[in-house]
Structure formats: structure tokens, C-alpha cells
Amino acid sequence: MVTFSIQHRQDPGEARVGVLETPHGVIETPTFMPVGSLGVVKGIDPEELHRCGFGLMLSNAYHLYLRPGHALIAGQGGLHKFSGWSGAILTDSGGFQMVSLSGLCQVKEDGVEFASHLDGSRHHLTPELCIETQLALGSDIMMVLDECPPYPCSPEQARDAVHRTTRWAQRCRMASQGVSNGLFGIVQGGVDKDLRCRSARDLVDIGFDGYALGGLSLGEAKPMMFEMIETTVAELPKDRPRYLMGVGMPEDLVEGVCRGVDMFDCVLPSRHGRTGWLFTSTGRVLIKQAQYARDESPIDPHCKCTVCQRFSRAYLRHLFVSNEMLGCRLNTLHNLWYYGTLMAELRAAIQANQLQAYCSAFYAKRQRASVTRSAEGRASSDDLSQKHATVVSA
């Protein structure tokens, strides 16, 4: 059984602090979910995830269906036991793979025909099989099968995707009758406000434990993404969690929280960790740059993660340029700690009705650091003003 309750609302504003209760733990929201598509966040032990402040991980039902197979995982006691992760698990259905693997799939009314990216074998993913797979995995929160159109797409593509997503959502709802696992609907509609509203209203009529905002952060401009978030959130029940899928950068999380989003996921903390992009309270550090070769300071002097307490930028650069696997692990751990800390700070700011002040300080630190880097000739100044939410400055 999955339940959600709101503990405090920012006054004024849409942001709120909530509690998401699942069979595998209680999660405070707003929250960020590290992405472990195959049942693991690359290079990170499950206990390390807990220490970074996470109680909810995202895995991908489609990828696990292909390998090692949902039946095998069910026979091993479910994904929690199989992976050694004791926290809650949300499983994406595979709808996004219609975009990321578009050359290998064909959308039909009954479902999606996939050619496996692993061995070319053919698979027919229906809404019913989507639910069957997630039940076998033992997901705390399941996602409906949705059609996520690419960006840009024609008005006809966006409209057809909304209607098909609604029909598939109804079938997923029927297939999950009588189970205690949570089930979230996914709002589509591209960047069309009317379609977003239509999709949200249709899904609310069906009734779900939570609602996701899909099909965003696919290349549209940030102001457009923020407008779609505001449009969608206004149509969703206030007593259900709102989940912005596949987003994103720290600034995106701040902006989403200001607009009433409760849940986020993205591969960026781990993917950027593997490519040497480190998140800090004053912006990014690209650890491969020569300026860090003799830098004895930690990644972020204000960070309390074990990486910043033990290792210098010079050593982390050495690991990265030497292609040592420890470098990827340490970078990822730091990034995950940063994301966990950011969400904790946002929750605290909302509880204190100080979100506006927090956001102003958040951007000011980045702007000062950006100007300093530019003056030193080490980086160009980022134009953060376009990312500053109008909701914050109102």
C-alpha cells in the first residue's frame, strides 16, 4: 500500500513537504530518485545510497524484462532481495524507450513491438505485460505504459500519443486491480497546454495513486518546460504526489519544487560523475581540467560527503585522467550526496516558509562563482538569469 500526506505548504506558493509511505520505507518529499535502470546505480553499493540520504530508487521494468528477466527476478524473491536494496523501488514501464530506442520499436494500439537492443529478439510489450512485469519485480510504485512522443513532434503525433496513453492507462489500471502496489499515471501532451490539460483530466478520472509529468526535458526551452509543469500541476489532485520524470539539473529541481513537484529522477548525478562533471554549491567542477592538477582543496569545501572529507581535487583529477574506476565511483558518490543534500535543504526551506530566500541564495552563489571564474579566465559566465523562476521573484 502506498499513501501520501502533505505535512506543510509554502505560504505563499505551490511548494510543499510531504510523506510518501511505501511497504519498504517512508520517504520525505520533495525527493530525488537515483536511477538504477538494471537494479543498480552504476558503481554504487545499496548501503552507500542510503548514506547519501535516499530511500527510493528508480529501476526500469523494460530493461529488467529483457535481462535477466522478470520471472528470474521473481524466483529470486523480487528485485529488493535480488539487488540487496532495502528501500523502496519505483519502476518505469518502458515508455521512454519508445524515444531512446525509437529505431527499434513500432507503436501499435495493442502495445509496442520491440527489437531487443541486446540480441535483436522480438518482444510485444502491452499494458498488461507491463503490469505483470512490475508485479513480478515487486515494485513499490509501478508506472503505466505510456507513449512518449519525441520533441519536436507534430500536433497530430502529440494528440495521438495522449489518447493512446489514456487508453493504455485504463488497461494498466484494470490489470492492477486487487494489488497493493502503487500505480502512477503519466501525463503526456508535448508542449501543447490544451493537450496537457486533457491528458491530466482523463487520468484523474481514471484514478491513480500519483501522477507523473512525462515527455519533458526532451529539448524544449526551459521556460516552455516550466510552463508545462505549471499547466499540468494545476490540473492534478493536491492530495497525490506529482512526479517530474527525467529531470534534471539542480536548477531544474529547484524550479520544479517551487511549482509544486514532489518527486524527480535523472541519470545526471551518476552519468556526470563518470564523465568528471561534479556538482557543487557554487556550480560545476570539471575535474579533468588542468587547473586542478595541484589543487589540494576538496571538490566543495561546504560538502560533508566522505569524498570531500578525504580526497583532494588533485587526486580526483589524477584518478580521472588515469581512467581509474575508483575515480568514477568517488565522483558519483559526491554527486549523489549533493543531490540528497539539495533536496533536504529544499524541504527545510519549505518547512520554515523560507523557500524564496533559499532560491535567491542558491542562484546568487552560482552567479558570484561564475563571475569569478570568468574574471580569472577559467570559464565563461553562465547566464543563470534565464533559469531563475518567475515564481521565486514574484
Percent share of the chain, pLDDT over 90? 89
pLDDT at 377: 54
Task: Name all domains of the chain by residue range, CATH numbers in brackets.
Answer: 3-266 (3.20.20.105), 273-393 (no CATH)
Mean local confidence (pLDDT), 342-363? 98
Is the pLDDT assigned to residue 392 strictly greater than 50? Answer: no
Q: Choose the weakest-confidence range: 19-33, 241-255, 380-394.
A: 380-394
CA 88/CA 102 separation, integer angstroms: 30
Query: Using an 8 Å Cβ cutoff, are 236 and 200 in contact?
Result: yes
Q: What is the pLDDT of residue 386?
A: 47
> Distance (Å, rounded) from C-alpha 114 to C-alpha 326?
36
The set of cell numbers assigned to 178 is 486487487
- The grid coordinates listed for 337 are 550526496
Mean pLDDT along residues 279-296? 97
The whole-number pLDDT of residue 99 equals 65
C-alpha cell at 139: 515494485
- The three-state secondary structure class of 17 is strand
Closest CA to 184 of 196, 195, 173: 173
Q: Which residues are catalytic?
A: 92, 265
Buried b (16+ CB within 10 A) or exposed e, 84-98: ebebbbbbbbbbbbb
pLDDT tens readout for residues 84-97: 999 999 999 977 77
What are the tens digits of pLDDT across the range 265-284?
999 999 999 999 999 999 99
pLDDT surpassing 60 at residue 382: no
Q: What is the radius of gyration, based on Cα positions, of the chain?
A: 21
Which of 8-17, 28-37, 315-324, 381-390 is least confident?
A: 381-390
Q: What span, in angstroms and rounded, lies between the C-alpha atoms of 94 and 60?
A: 7
Is the predicted pLDDT of residue 222 greater than 90, yes or no? yes
Question: What pLDDT score does 376 carry?
Answer: 59
Per-residue DSSP letter, 192: -
Dihedral in degrees, nearest 10, Cα atoms 80, 84, 85, 90: -40
Q: How far apart are CA 350 and CA 30, in angstroms?
A: 10
Per-residue pLDDT at 153 exceeds 70: yes
Residue 64 above 90 pLDDT?
yes
Residue 232 amino acid letter: T
Helices 250-258 & 325-351 angle (0-180, nearest 10): 20
Per-residue confidence band for 369, with pLDDT thresholds at 50, 70 and 90: confident
Over residues 157-172, the mean pLDDT reads 97
Exposed/middle/buried for residue 292 (C-beta within 10 Å: 0-12, 13-18, 19+) = buried
Q: Which three cell numbers stand for residue 72?
A: 528470474
- In the three-class reduction of DSSP (H, G, I as helix; E, B as strand; rest coil), residue 88 is classed as strand
pLDDT at 14 over 70: yes
